Structure 1
Amino acid sequence: MIQKIINDNQLLSIIIRHSFQKEGIEFFTPDDFSQQLAYMKRPKDYVIAPHVHNPVPREVQFTKEVLYLKSGKVRVDFYDEQQKYLESTVLYAGDVILLAFGGHGFEMLEESEIIEVKQGPYAGDLDKTRFEPVPSDQLVVK
């Protein structure tokens, strides 16, 4: 199952649920995203030819993050660019999420292990603007 969080025609997030399966390869991100996300299922003895990646100049404007929830249960709260709360969803062990645009916050509903992949180098305090979360009585979990 694939879940997309969209606000004002802008793709904020893509969630690949742990139950998703498909033969072959599928890219979930548009070609112009600075972080690409795909799923591959290949049969035994399938070969991906050895290769190197060529140097290609790229300009990254926004940090995009991919999180893999190795274990646990996490609520993700989504916000628009103006820090207005939109909705929440729950991630379970094995789920993968791409955070593309907008804001986001997390609450660990169980002890959780998360693997994060994002562009670098890390810019410290310049990398993000922190703000107050929505009060828990206003959450809308989908």
Structure 2
Amino acid sequence: MKKRQFVYMALAFLLLMGMSSCRKKSINNPLTVNSVGAPWELLVVMDKSDWEAPQGRALFEVLDADVPALPQSEPRFKISRCDNADFDGLLKPVRNILLVEISHIYSRPKIHVTEDMWANSQIVMRIVAPDNE
């Protein structure tokens, strides 16, 4: 009888400990790293030729526009850029990433937004288009 009571108490204790240790983030992979960078920093992954073309300059002007209603001039983002070929494991944990890919394999322009793709607290926006238009 005492053995059965001990087993029930041990199971109740383990169940209580298991339930109290659960958090909302426990669904995520515990091996995923935390994102790096400030909330206002943005990594644009885009080939240099596209970045220097008119569509790249237009994208830069939108991202670098001043935040409205501030007493001084402040850009929306601190922008960094790298080529698609240079985007590797070292840059994947950056907090905010904008992937731009222009290729004939796409039939129409699309925008995909993904959270926590390579790191926790990360936003990855992917823009794909068939051409520069």
TM norm. shorter chain > 0.5: no
Q: What is the TM-score with the length of structure 2 in the denominator?
A: 0.25
Write 1 or 2 for the structure with the bigger share of strand: 1
